[in-house]
Each structure stands twice: as structure tokens, then as C-alpha cells.
Amino acid sequence: MNNITDIFERLRNGETIPSVDPQAYKLREASYATKKLLVQMNNAADPAEIRNLLSQITDSKIDESVAVFTPLHINYGKHTKIGKNVFINFDCVFLDLGGITIEDDVMLAPRVSLLSEGHPVSPEDRHALRVGPIHIKKNAWIGAGAMILPGVTIGENTVVAAGAVVSKDIPANTIVGGIPAKMIKNIEQ
């Protein structure tokens, strides 16, 4: 184990955490604590109450310009940062132990999954947790059912087509789609 002892810091620094890590239990404990707040948030109808509960989940201020249509599913929350004028539609999933940054003016359609976590492929290491930060830059639009995988940056003004699976960085001002996502065309300015 390195000099950083907190498992959450180690994850944010990109460390792969083996399933036998002595602090692994903290991941589940934190997830259950988040779940308590999620139950309240996902049963709330008042936008201000939803933002307040999301602020508690993310441990950061959620601007009043942010709109969240619940349910929203988050496993940890404290590694998620949300900018201004962000729209999050129904049934999105955030696995944020690796970090999720959503900049201003981003739109997430229904059932978008932002998955900053995964596992090694080798059978002997498969139960370890591997992470990579997700960064969605300003004015991006992520289409319904799209999935963004660990370590991906979505460029400014980019459109990710519905159902796409994004496994690599996407440059600004492009439209991508497919599995895996490939460039469809540039967006003219």
C-alpha cells in the first residue's frame, strides 16, 4: 500500500484496489449511506429539495439552475462535481469512485450511465476495482441510453448519440455514435 491510506483518495489517484484490501468495506458502507439520501431524493418532487439532497450526496453546492428528473442512481456521490445549467433526465446512473465532472450547460438524456469504475479483465484480478475519471465538458449532449466508460473525456459541444458506448476520449464539436462510439461528423460552428 502506498503512503495515501484513505481508500477514497487512493481511488481518486487512480490506484487499483484489490478485493482483499483492508479498507474495501468502506466502499460498501459509503454506498449504503448514499443510498439513504438517494431514497429521500428519488421520492422528492420539489426541485429545490432534490438539489439540496444532491448537494448532500455530492458534498458540494448544486446550483439552482440545475434540473434533475429523478430517479437518479449514484453509488458514492462525493466524487461527482456538477456545473451550472445542467439537465439530468430520468434514470441516469453515476458510478463515481473514479470521479465524474459535468461542466456547465450539459444535458444528459434518460438512462445515461457515467461509469468511472470497472474491473481488470484477468480472472485472477477481476474482483479488484479499477477507476478512471470521466469529464464531460461544456454544452455536451449525451443521448438516451448512452454509456460513458472509465477515463473518458467528452469534448465541448459534443453530441453522443443515443445508445452509444464511449470508451475513448471524444474531441470537441463532434457527433459520435455506435458501439464502440465512432465519429459521425463534425459540428460546424
Residue 125 lies in a domain: yes
The helix (H) or strand (E) run that includes residue 149 is: none
Determine, yes or no, domain membership for 82. yes
Residue 2 in any domain: the answer is no
> What pLDDT is stored for residue 1 in this prediction?
44
The answer to the question of residue 80 being in a domain is yes
Distance CA 147, CA 19 (A): 25
C-alpha cell, 38: 438517494
Contact criterion met (CB below 8 Å) for 24 and 8: no
Structural domain count, the chain:
1
**Looking at the domain assignment, is residue 58 inside a domain?**
yes
**1 domain residue, yes or no:** no
Q: Catalytic: which of 73, 79, 119, 127? A: 119
Q: Look at residue 188 in the predicted model and tell me its pLDDT.
A: 85
pLDDT digits (tens, 9 = 90+) for 43-81: 999 999 999 999 999 999 999 999 999 999 999 999 999
Return the CATH number at 80: 2.160.10.10
Q: Which portions of the chain are predicted below pLDDT 50? A: 1-2
Residue 15: which of 26, 3, 25 has the closest Cα?
3
Range of the structural domain that residue 15 is part of: 7-186
> Does residue 127 have an active-site annotation?
no
